[in-house]
Amino acid sequence: MWDVAGHERFGTMTRVYYKYAIAAFIVFDVSRPATFEAVAKWRQDVNDKVVLANNQPIPLILLANKCDIPGVTIDNEALDEYTKANGFLAWYKTSAQDNINIDSAMQFLVSKILEISKENRPVQVPTPNTVVLTPNNNPPAQKTMDERLKECCN
Integer Cα distance of 97 and 26 in angstroms? 17
Integer Cα distance of 77 and 84 in angstroms? 11
Residue 138: alpha-carbon gap to chain centroid: 41
Residue ranges making up the domain that contains 115: 8-153
Tell if the pTM clears 0.75, that is, is over it: no
Q: Is residue 104 part of a domain?
A: yes
**What's the chain's length in residues?**
154
pLDDT for 55: 83
Number of neighbouring beta carbons within 10 Å of residue 10: 15
Residues 27, 66: contact at Cβ < 8 Å? Answer: no
Q: Is residue 146 part of a domain?
A: yes
Backbone phi, psi, residue 102, to 5°:
-65, -50
Residue by residue, pLDDT tens for the chain (154 residues) are: 445 555 555 555 566 767 778 899 999 999 998 889 999 998 998 888 888 888 888 999 999 999 999 988 889 999 999 999 999 999 999 999 999 999 999 999 999 989 887 775 555 555 566 666 666 666 666 777 677 677 666 5
The dihedral of CA 5, 62, 24, 88: what is its sign?
negative
Q: Is residue 82 part of a domain?
A: yes
Element (H, E) at 28: strand 24-29
Q: Is residue 1 part of a domain?
A: no
Integer Cα distance of 70 and 152 in angstroms? 79
pLDDT for 43: 93
DSSP lists the bridge partners of residue 62 as: 26, 91
The CATH number linked to 54 is 3.40.50.300
pLDDT for 22: 86
Q: Is residue 143 part of a domain?
A: yes
Q: Is residue 102 part of a domain?
A: yes
Integer Cα distance of 30 and 75 in angstroms? 10
Q: Number of structural domains, the chain?
A: 1
Q: Is residue 125 part of a domain?
A: yes
Q: Is residue 105 part of a domain?
A: yes
